[in-house]
Structure 1
Amino acid sequence: MRFRRGLIILAVVVLVLLFSLRGLASFYVNFLWFDSIAQASTWRGLLAAKVVPALVFTIGFFVIMWVNLLVADRLAPPLRKMRAPTSEDELVSRYQEITARYRGRIRVGVSLFFALIAGLGVSAQWKQWILFTNSVDFGTKDPEFGLDIGFYVFKLPFINFLIDWLFAGFVIVLLVTAVAHYLNGGIRFQNATQRVSPQVKAHLSVIVAMMALIRSVGYFFDRFELSFSSRGVVDGATYTDVKAQLPALNFLIFVSIIAAILLVWNIWRRGWVLPIIAVGLWAFIAIVLGTIYPTAVQKFVVEPNEFSQERPYIRRNIKATSDAFKLSTVDSKDFNFTQDLSPAVVEANLPTINNARLWDPGIIRSTYQTLQALQTYYQINDVDVDRYDINGQ
């Protein structure tokens, strides 16, 4: 039996290695290329930026999932024999009989499976991680929040990813934990008296409370995303963003925290009233204040008198553009020109005229598409402009 099991494990390992050979070869060749140009340290840094965050996030998600599954098993109600068991009772009884010896392994396996899924995607965020860990200040602050521009370039992208990852992770934890409670008998849809046990209500309330707290942090950082808004007449935070969306986000932070407090309170109440009030109030205010109110302000306050309402934010945009391109340091000079073009002037400026571009890429593309595409399935996507050395010119 052990020999047979060993052969199966060996066969699985061989198959994994065979399917991984192409990736391993590419991995090694990539290292050799970096090493050949004396950049092996850069290769190691990039590898660490991909592996370390993914490993940390995988372990973190594994712990969160494992703890919640352990709590779900500990809160499982005792199995009782009934005179007329329902199909759910039979399912729970059969599940507990089959898995009684393997509960610990099942928890580890399920937690590891979802942790690997949640952690693998983190490696794709290696650029944001490098920017976050190597952030520097630009020395210029944004006019609305007074934060250095470097915060928006280096830190905010990874922070937003982290918040979204945590929220999505707890959604998965909530669903898997609910399934675990169902298989353990804590949730019974066919039970007319008590469909969900009080202990399960308390446990699920804690998970949703964590989601509310994570979302409150998300609302806090969503405020800074207004600096990238394209809602108004110019890019950046404009009238609706500052006067409507920003106050709405500030209020939603408060509402999310109140919702989390109500859900934590439900640990002792163990009912449905507090969770329904918390989630319902949270969702209602998020829709009304977060979506409908800013849209109404833009439609009925800004658009009828757009230039007047947006004037301060247009000035901000102009100043930011001027500072970014250092236009304030440009010296303006008059260019004297004449409309009398003589052969002598042409001869004196012949090198410049010979280097003038004859074709406009935007126009020539459509011309080539018409003249050169012999079949409808040919498509000329773009026209590149280049320079050639012809007869020393």
Structure 2
Amino acid sequence: MTIEYEGKLPDFIDSKQHRSATWGRRGIFLLAALALGIFVCGRIGLSYWVDLLWFQSLGYSEVFWKSASLQIIDFVFFAGTTLLVLYGAFSAIRRSHEADLPRAHAIIIAGEPINLSVQPALRVISFFISVVIGCVTGLAMMADWPTLALFWYTPHTTGSVADPVFGKPLNFFLFTLPAWQLVNNWLLTLAIAICAVAILFLIITSGARSLTKRQITYAPSPWRGLSIAVAFLLLVLAINVYVDRFQLLLEHHTIFDGITYTDAHITIYGLLLVCAALVLGAFISAYNAVRHSRGRWIVAAILPAVACYGVMGIVGWYVGNFIVKPNELVREEPFIAHNIEMTRQAYGLNRFAQREFPAETTVDAADAANNQPTLQNIRLWDWHALQDTLRQVQEIRTYYDFPGIDIDRYKIDGMTRQVMLAARELNVEKLPISSRNWINEKLIYTHGYGVTMNPVNGFTAEGLPTLFLSNMPVQSTVQGLNVTRPQIYFGELTDTDVYVKTRQQEFDYPQGQNNNLTSYEGDGGIILGGFLRRVMLAIDRGDLGKLPFSDDVNSQSRLLMRRNIRDRVAALAPFLTFDQDPYMVVGDDGRLSWIMDAFTVSNNYPYSTHYNLGESSVNYMRNSVKVVVDAYTGATTLYVFDSQDPILASYRRIFPNLFKDAAAMPSDLRRHVRYPEALFKVQSEVYGLYHMTNPAVFFNREDLWTVATESATDSNGQQTTQMMQPNYVLMKLPGGTGEEFVEILPFTPANRNNLIGWIAGRCDGPDYGTAVVYDFPKTKLIDGPQQIEARIDQNAQLSGQLTLWNQQGSHVLRGSLLVIPSGRALLYAEPIYLQAQQSPMPELRLVVLALQDKLAYGTTFQAALRSLFGGEVSSLNASEAPQSAPASQGTAQPSTDINVLIFEAAKDFADYQRLTAAGKLGEAGQKLDALKGVLDRLSAHGK
């Protein structure tokens, strides 16, 4: 084969056979492209159709149509505009180089001349590239549809807060600025792409000249296309620089976030000057395109902006180092004040009330008699230990699992009790290998079953949790507390699709040697319908080989998809951020529901400091929505709990039918809303720094708080130190009138172990969503969790016993240390478990209670309580009756001892009646013995 190149273009006429072959190849290519386009569009359309059916099954078809229309509009506009702009720019640049582009080349291959037409090929290539870039750009902009929708649906001239520098309303930063930045990035991408094409054409035409004339000549025309492209790029850069001035209010600095003295006096005006220089450069470059084009004028167009930027940098460096640094506090004080004020607003710290707490150290200061709700609801079950125990005694079958433990409050026998709930979910991954087939996984094993509920400090004689709800079918030991719909079709582990209302009955729960079966009676899911509809659903769900041909499926069968509640709510409202810890609620009607907290977040709140939320960085956060998901039907409802949130107000304008007011939430669910853990963690981190509202104190970090740390046991039984996690407790707040459910977290000074403060997020009634901060005296040392842990380790009896347990084929597990205000003192409580190496079920062996100046312990909570408040000697032996301290030791019983004993007697008698009614005579006898013991101590006290 020989290849010859003819520099002189020959006259060439294609033969009929050659034209036929060419059209044949083009036809095959077009058919392949058409088939690919139909396949891609078909799959996209099918996915949208299934999504529509899913939204309709939830009653939110309007939400689907609105979000789909917004996405389609974004895609069409940006993809079409990108295509037109790029292809128009390609055509204009190509025409500017038309004189230098070869029209045709003849290449002889194997004796056959092949005619190559350069310009038609460039047109096809430029159109294809424009289409590809346009589609990619359209898809990228479509993914950011919430940003553009918020901009479109929000008034931009209103806002409750105006920034102190530019005077712009809050809505400008939350909604307008993000949209501007998004569009600016799009324009910048177009401008860079056009410049790249102009440079490419310049290189091609220069090469063509070198081939045809054997030398490179420089004519004015080659620079015309590049001049136009550079002019467009400089204009886009000018717009970006102008918008970037507002970004200064979001910048991070060493001491604070937001605009600084240098930014306010130099950078803002310098950027305006750079912006003007860029516009001037754009005019110079455009003038170069219409007059005598020269490359040096393109360089001249860029130089003014470069010079202005350099001067701005030098002046800013001088001001920062020689004017600000020597007088930093004075110069930055007003800007620090802006940062403090706006950060506190952004994270809702204005809802935190501060109170002084004396943190006294005596037993009398704990006021046990008036704080019985607090004492009797101290959580002794650590959730790790409870989860391990439930997996042994309540999973019943290996394919069940308890993915999480939830803490809540319920009315039990007329009293509000703090309890722990665990949902028994089906984990198909744990099914025996022999049972892993399509019928079992899709038609039979479709749901979990029931919940367990136990008081936070209830233990049986065997060290197991005292269960209010347990077993399968669900059994209740509390009158009025029942589960009528125990099936869990939607939960945390339900990650697979299932088909219900089929001819195949579903496994409900094991019962002896047989299994109890059921059929789905709810209205959730997508109706499968006829054969064609089934085929289309099967294609979308990846089940084409089984679903259309199953005899068990009929036209009334239903597809339950997106059963994982996290995926479910994220698909319904992708613009919200969700707490990753949903919790189960048993309603008054016995139905099971999940409640999830949802947040609106932003990283564009002016002057506010950024903090991490998961993998994202935010500087604004509100818990505006509570989502309720029915565990049986999958019905999902979003309730608005913060009507003042501007972001949610905009989403309500976009989706008016998606949200309901908080007042519409059923009262039996409303009683169980709680302060969300994710928000509490972020607010606590922010409060550690931003409780300092004086700029001078803030600047010097004189009163920096950090979350307290505690000891923990790792998987190898080794002691480690970790930051304390928020705990939910039912207690009477100091100065309060009754018990309430709160989320608590203690604080220490930075790099210290002693306590400095304590925060409680309130969950009940009109106080919901607010928080109370108790400031401890700075003039005295108040033990922190690490110091209490050290006192436990240093106690001769406790240390020896813990060491002994760790050496006998078992290891000690230490539960979370709770720090709870009681009366005018701080009460510390820690459960200690023993876990044998051969048994994954921990047993509670010790309860340690402490005040600032006193440490007490016992094998039960009541024993530890008597030791702390009743003056009895702490004991490690469960069978050893505690003895009162001799009078010679000077240990006087507090005046509140009689009240404590009376409360214990009343509680033991109530427990005895309840257990007797439930037929648990053995446990009732133990309570009767305990009651006799309390009465004996009361009698002895009277003597």
TM range (shorter): 0.7 to 0.9
SS in structure 1 at match of 2:85:
helix
Higher deviation after alignment, 170-179 or 18-27: 18-27
Contact persistence 2:100–2:209 (CA under 8 A): no
Q: Which residue of 2 aligns with 1:368?
A: 714
Match of 2:305 in 1: 282
Match of 2:86 among 44, 65, 72: 65
8 Å contact kept, 1:219–1:249: yes
1:179-217 residue CA offsets vs partner (Å, 9 max, x unmatched): 234445587578897555422312211211111111111
What CA distance in whole angstroms lies between the structure 1 residues aligned with 2:50 and 2:728?
33
Alpha-carbon distance change, 45 to 287 in structure 1, aligned in 2, over 3 angstroms? farther
Distance 1:79 1:146 in 2: 54
Larger helix percent:
1
2:59 maps to amino acid: A
The answer to whether the aligner puts 1:200 opposite 2:183 as a matched pair is no
Percent of residue pairs bearing the same amino acid type: 22
Is it true that 1:48 corresponds to 2:69 in the alignment? yes
Alpha-carbon distance between aligned partners in 2 of 1:283 and 1:14, rounded to the nearest angstrom: 51
What is residue 229 of structure 1 aligned with on the other side?
A: 251
Does residue 1:256 correspond to 2:278, yes or no?
Answer: yes
Give the C-alpha shift of residue 10 in structure 1. Answer: 4.6
Counterpart position of 1:147: 168
Shift of 1:330: 8.2
Take 2:220 and 2:78, find their aligned partners in 1: how far apart are those partners? Answer: 32
Out of 26-35 and 337-346, give the one that drifted further.
337-346
2:97 is paired with a residue whose SS is coil
What residue number does 1:269 align with?
292
User: Aligned partners of 1:169, 1:186: CA distance in 2, in Å?
Assistant: 26
- 1:209-236 CA distance string (max 9 Å, x none): 1111111111111111111122263222
Please list, as runs of the form range in 1=range in 2, the aligned pairs for 1:23-38 lying within 5 A after superposition. Answer: 26-38=47-59
Partner of 1:162: 183
C-alpha displacement of 1:142: 0.8
Higher Rg: 2
AA of the residue aligned to 1:121: A
- The answer to whether structure 1 residue 297 and structure 2 residue 297 are counterparts is no
Q: Which residue pairs with 1:110 in the alignment?
A: 129
State the partner residue of 1:210. 232
Maintained 8 Å contact 2:709/2:724: no
Mapped partners of 1:218, 1:166: distance in 2: 9
Aligned to 1:314: 336
- Number of the residue aligned with 2:823: none
| Matching residue's letter, 2:303 | G
Distance 1:336 1:327, change over 3 A: same
**1:103 and 1:344 mapped to 2: Cα distance?**
86
CA distance in 2, matches of 1:125, 1:196: 45
In the aligned structure 2, how far is the partner of 1:90 from the partner of 1:212?
33
1:83-102 paired onto structure 2 within 5 Å: 97-102=116-121
* Greater Cα offset, 323-332 or 26-35: 323-332
Deviates more, 1:328-337 or 1:130-139: 328-337
Cα gap change, 1:26/1:329 in structure 2, threshold over 3 Å: closer, same or farther?
Answer: closer
- 1:119 is matched with which residue? 138
Q: In 1, Cα distance between the equivalents of 2:238 and 2:318?
A: 24
Q: Deviations over 1:43-80 (max 9, x none)?
A: 12212222212221111121122222222332235469
Q: Distance in 2 between matches of 1:381 and 1:23?
A: 46
Letter aligned with residue 117 of structure 2 = I
Distance in structure 2 (CA, Å) of the matches to 1:295 and 1:66: 44
- Aligned to 2:233, the other structure's residue is in SS state helix
Equivalent residue for 2:269? 247
Aligned mates of 1:381, 1:10 — CA distance in 2: 63
State the shift of 1:263 in Å: 1.0
State the TM-score, normalized to the length of structure 1.
Answer: 0.78
* Structure 1 residues 11 and 106, CA gap change in structure 2 (3 angstroms): closer
* Shift in CA distance, 271/386, structure 1 to aligned 2, threshold 3 Å: same
1:368 CA drift (Å): 3.0
Secondary structure of 1:115's partner?
helix
* Unaligned stretches of 5+ residues in structure 2: 1-19, 108-113, 383-680, 682-706, 731-910, 915-943
Deviation at 1:341, TM superposition (A): 2.9
Q: Aligned to 1:269, what secondary structure does the other structure show?
A: coil
- 8 Å contact from structure 1 (residues 73, 181) kept in 2: no
Q: Give the direction of change, closer, same or farther, for the CA distance of 1:299–1:256 in structure 2 (3 Å limit).
A: same
Higher relative contact order (CA 8 A, sep 6+): 1
Whole-angstrom distance in 1 between the partners of 2:39 and 2:88: 35
Q: How many residues align?
A: 376
List aligned pairs for 1:121-140, cutoff 5 A: 121-136=140-155, 137-140=158-161
Distance 1:338 1:381 in 2: 25
Determine the C-alpha separation between the residues in 1 that align with 2:52 and 2:340.
46
Q: Report the TM-score, using the length of structure 2 for normalisation.
A: 0.35
Displacement of 1:118: 2.7
Check 1:249–1:215 CA distance in 2 against 1; reply closer, same or farther (3 A cut). same
User: How far did residue 239 of structure 1 move?
Assistant: 0.8
Select the structure that is richer in strand: 2
Find the aligned partners of 1:344 and 1:106 in 2 and give their Cα distance: 82
Contact kept, 8 Å, 2:104 with 2:117, in 1: the verdict is no
Structure 1 stretch 153-162 or stretch 211-220: which is displaced more? Answer: 211-220
Cα–Cα, structure 1 residues 196 and 126, in superposed 2: closer, same or farther, change >3 Å?
farther
